[in-house]
Amino acid sequence: MKRLCLALLLLPCADLLADTRDEALKLSDVVISANRQVQARNDSSAANTVFTRADIDRLQPTSVTDLLSRVPGVQVAPTGGRGSLPGIFIRGTKTAQSLVMVDGQRIANATSGDSGLQFLSVDQIERVEVLRGSRSVIYGSDAIGGVIQIFTRRNAEAGIHPRLHLGFGSHQTWERSLGLSGGDGRTRFNLGASLDETQGIDWTRKSFASDGDHDAYRNNSISLNLSHSLSDDVEVGFNLLDGRGRAEYDNPFGRNISLTEAVGMKPYTRYTVSSASSYVDAKINDAWQTRVELGHSENRDTKRDRLSDYNAAFNTYRDSVNWQNDLSLTERNSLILGGDWYEDRVHTSENLKADSRWNRAVFIQHRFKAEAFSTELGLRHDTNQQFGSQNTWSGTFTLPLNPDNDLLLSYSEGFRAPSFNDLYYPFSSNPNLKPEHSKSYELQWRSQLTDTMRLEASLYRTELKDAIIARQIDFYIPRNVASARINGFEAALKQELFGWQGNLGLSIIDPRDNDSGHTLERRARRTLSLDLDRQFDRLGVGASWQAVSSSYDDAENTKRLSGYSLLGLRSSWAMTREVLLSVKVDNVLDGTYARARYSYDEPNYENNQDYREEGRVWMFGVTWTPEL
């Protein structure tokens, strides 16, 4: 593994063989999402955070959103307990302005713009990469705030490797998963399945008697990865992730009946989030690497509520093709050339005026690397069936101050096409909407302060134009009326001292609506996260602390959400080489806090508006990985 890591860091990107990608997913010092190719993290122009499978096992996160809350510049605002809809704010941008992918495939719902991250099982995940800042030149629409890419479980070792996990915790929470991976020098596979369920908590307290029960959640997930090397230079593969289940929720606007009468009438969502892709990765010659991907993703959401008149289905389907070519022109010059095509289709219970659209694009990015500096310049042209042509470009200048310190100055543009709900949802849509646009400026400093301490810091500004907002003054009809600017600073410090591994993340942002001067809703101005871990032979111990300042839940800044801090503790013990015990306690101090509110303006419900979060919770798990 050490030899592979060294090879990945030293070789030019276009010289990497196709069969290194699965192995690279195990490494913390490389990133794939920035340019759709394996490269050293320090060589990427994007501010990035990487969680490997080893990190996931060490941190013991409950969900993907739990991981994301540790990333500087990323804020998460759930609307209840496990399985609830989260707001994901990367550098102050809203959820729909950041791109979410699984194994290279977009998974966001084309009607709402939400990605269903809360429905992805962490046990089926090999790696999570978070890019902060616009990457529209590489990915096109939606990548204004950044990119979140999830890679499903992979195998990088020969032989057969089974695994079994069983966990139990607060609120009658159960986690069950099993997997089997294996392979040889040519073929590798990984197959996994999991079942997670919990009785949950009451998300909105007791607005009506019928809302006085807990909101349960159930998730069934499977994943499959298969790759085969046809030769030393050609690899083919297939990736699949499918998560589906049921999430109950409260409806404080439903009928006021007793809890006894409401038995069996609980509002719930049936959901499916799935992604499937196949690829061919080939090294044509020493200077040319090419990769073709075919993908299909589905995001289905069906709501049933017999306590009100609201029953709806929003199902979106996406087919895609991507072709990328990585060219090493000379020792100092490299080029990325590619093309994208995808088509969205919508099946919904609502009467939308349009139910499909396609987007096609071409992009090019050149990189020059000299001894004294390096540059990166990219250009993309998108043609959208509804919105015509969109051009975006980006540029980065990197100045190595010395072998341990780099300065990066960059500019990037981004855009987002309005969703089908923005355009066509009955009574609250606007078919005349234009795409949102952004311009971002960033200064990064990357420093290897000591052999065991690394600092990455960014100072940035994002300007949003034609932002789409549905305001009460406009009867909640979405309009291109808003412009906003987001100034921010973020820093990530990684330190190893006396055997302790520490990761500190800090973010300070000032996200403002230019027209009103108000702070953008659900964005805290200051966040701080700290993870400390140490391994004592077979015993591992760790702690997490997160502090978040106050924010506002509405655009008018009248509904204030108080700041909060959370402490978590965790431990693991390898009983044998095959059996691992783990335990964690989150929100150790049993703090009461809220990260979002539901809108209900009548005075009698003023004190019931916060979405509830879990108090102190614990989880115990056993993982068995027998050696065959």
Q: Please write the tens of the pLDDT for every residue from 309-329.
A: 667 889 999 999 999 999 999
- Residue 18: is its pLDDT beyond 50? no
Tell me what pLDDT residue 512 has.
Answer: 92
- Give burial (CB, 10 Å; 0-12/13-18/19+) of 595: buried
> Which three-class secondary structure state does DSSP give residue 501?
strand
Q: Angle at CA 257, nearest 5°, toward 255 and 258?
A: 150
- Residue 211: is its pLDDT beyond 70? no
Q: DSSP state, 312?
A: E
pLDDT band of 17, cuts 50, 70, 90: very low
Could you read off the pLDDT of 34-62 as tens digits, one per residue? 999 999 999 999 999 999 999 999 999 99
Tell me what pLDDT residue 12 has.
Answer: 40
429 vs 305, higher pLDDT: 429
pLDDT band of 538, cuts 50, 70, 90: very high
Average pLDDT over residues 283-295: 96
Tell me what pLDDT residue 208 has.
Answer: 57
Tell me what pLDDT residue 16 has.
Answer: 37
Its pTM stands at 0.93
Q: Are 378 and 395 in contact (CB under 8 A)?
A: yes
Instruction: Output the average pLDDT for the chain.
Output: 90
CA gap 278, 228 in Å, rounded: 12
Residue 427 backbone class (left: φ over 0; alpha: ψ -120 to 50; beta: rest): left
Tell me what pLDDT residue 19 has.
Answer: 44
- Residue 251: is its pLDDT beyond 90? no
- Residue 288: is its pLDDT beyond 90? yes
Which of 413, 377, 379 minimizes the C-alpha distance to 397? 377
Tell me what pLDDT residue 305 has.
Answer: 77
If you search the block for the tokens 């981004």, which residue do you land on?
Answer: 414
pLDDT band of 444, cuts 50, 70, 90: very high
13 vs 93, higher pLDDT: 93
Domains and CATH numbers, the chain: 2-624 (2.40.170.20)
pLDDT band of 261, cuts 50, 70, 90: low
Which of 41, 42, 44, 8 minimizes the C-alpha distance to 23? 8
Tell me what pLDDT residue 1 has.
Answer: 43
CA gap 80, 82 in Å, rounded: 7
Instruction: Give percent of the chain above pLDDT 90.
Output: 74
